[in-house]
Amino acid sequence: APPAPPAPPAPPAAQALSVINPRKRKPPAVCWGQALSGGTTQCELVEAKSPAFRQHFCPNCQKKGLLISSLRVRVAVGETVPANLHASGVWNGPSSTSKWPAHRVVNQTAGSAGPKLVILRDVTSAQLPGLASLPHPPGSMVAFRVGKTLQPITASHSQPPPPQQWQPPPVPRAVAAPLSQPQPPQLQQ
C-alpha cells in the first residue's frame, strides 16, 4: 500500500496563536504571608491564578490574616513613599528612589484607612529616612488582613472586648417599690 500523504501544515494563524498564548502555569510558590510574617505562619504553597496581590497568599492567610512583629513595621512619613515594584516578588530592595533595606509598602491603596506602612524584611534599629517606628511595646505583633493590600486590624477588631465589671443583678420591678408611694402601716401586736 502506498504511504499516506503527509498532513497539511497548520494554518499560519493557528501556529501564531499557539506561540502567543501558551498555557503556561507558574509552579507553586511560597505564600507571601509566610515571607511577610517572618516565617511565623505555617502556609501551604500558592498557585497564583492572577497577578493580583491577594492571589499570592494561601487560603489560610486570606481568611485569618497574619501577624507581623511590630519591630518590623514602620510608618511612612513625608510626601514621597516609593511604590512597590511589581516584578520583584514580595520584597522591594534599595533603589534610586529608596535607600530602605528590603521592604514592602502596605496599606497604600485607595480606600485604605490610616497611614501607609512599611514592613521590613529584617529587624533593624537603624533610623531610616522617611520611616518612623510604631509606638508599640517590643515583642508586640501587628495584625493584618489580606485584601488589595495588607491592612492593619485595629485593636478593637483584633482583641475580644474587655471583661465587664461585676455589678449586682437588677432587682425585678415587681419587687422594687417606688420611693414616692407611701408604705402601708405596719400592724402592731
pLDDT of 94-108, one tens digit each?
Answer: 877 778 899 999 999
Long-range own/partner contacts, residues 84-87 (CB < 8 A, 24 or more apart): 84/108, 86/51
Least-confidence region, from 4-8, 160-164, 169-173 = 160-164
Residue 111 has pLDDT above 70, yes or no: yes
Confidence of residue 161 (pLDDT cuts 50, 70, 90): very low
What confidence score (pLDDT) does residue 18 get? Answer: 41
Residue 185 has pLDDT above 60, yes or no: no
Count of CB atoms within 10 A of residue 118's CB?
A: 25
